[in-house]
Amino acid sequence: MALNIQVRCINKSDRMNPHERIINIGGTNPDGARWKRSQQQAIIDIETGTYQYYVSMEGHSVWVVVAAKQVGQSVHKYLKTQNDGEQPNNLLSLPECP
């Protein structure tokens, strides 16, 4: 059974560009310790059922999911939130992780 973890911050390759890729996601454990996972590791966590990540904005929680985009012969996996009608994606709107 996957453990649910709230994502509270991200690191992007270009912070000023709202469409740049996420490098890391992060948050705070119940004991106050900070955590950070690479996008690649978070994708593995979700796909293996180890963790389920979510974002909470204004009292509304949305799951973080793995999406895929075809780039030539390759498939590029990335993180995004489930469709919640918000633009931009709630995950991309989070503050920068320390």
Q: Kindly give the confidence (pLDDT) of every residue in the chain, 98 residues in length, as a single tens digit, with 9 standing for 90 and above.
A: 889 999 999 998 876 655 568 999 999 998 999 999 999 999 999 999 999 999 997 788 899 999 988 888 888 899 999 875 555 578 888 999 99
Q: What is the structure's pLDDT at 87?
A: 55
Q: What share of the chain is helix, strand, coil (3-state, %, to 5)?
A: 10, 50, 40
Q: What is the structure's pLDDT at 11?
A: 94
What are the extents of the domains in the chain?
3-81
**Beta carbons of 75 and 68 less than 8 angstroms apart:** yes
Q: What is the structure's pLDDT at 58?
A: 78
Q: How many CB atoms lie within 10 A of CB 79?
A: 22
For residue 73, count CB atoms less than 10 angstroms from its CB and return exposed for 0-12, middle for 13-18, buried for 19 or more: exposed
**Beta carbons of 38 and 95 less than 8 angstroms apart:** no
